[in-house]
Amino acid sequence: MMKRQTLAIPDIYVPVQRRQTLDPKKVEAVAESMMEKGQEVPILVRPDGQRFVLVEGLHRLEACKALGETTIPAYLVQARKH
């Protein structure tokens, strides 16, 4: 079972390919939902030395940044590098 952790947002690296799929309108909608309900689904990251690489949850991560959060709930997963 994956272990839920709270990570510092600056410690999470977003690959360039993933950044290209960012939709600002979706980030705004996710941020509004987070303000009402909180973050219901943690993001997925994989360890990479001293940092973590985003696997899934770009819009949730960006919504947290937009809301001024400094940490985010995440699950650590084992994923291959692309």
Give the global pTM: 0.89
In this predicted structure, what is the pLDDT of residue 74? 96
pLDDT, residue 82, reads 54
Contact criterion met (CB below 8 Å) for 3 and 77: no
Model pLDDT for residues 48-72, shown as the tens digit of each residue:
988 999 999 999 999 999 999 999 9
Mean pLDDT of all residues in 69-81: 86
Q: What does the domain layout of the chain look like in residue ranges?
A: 4-76
Class of domain 4-76: alpha beta
**Long-range contacts, stretch 19-23, CB < 8 angstroms, 24+ apart:** 19/58, 21/58, 22/58, 22/59, 22/62, 23/59
pLDDT of 3:
78
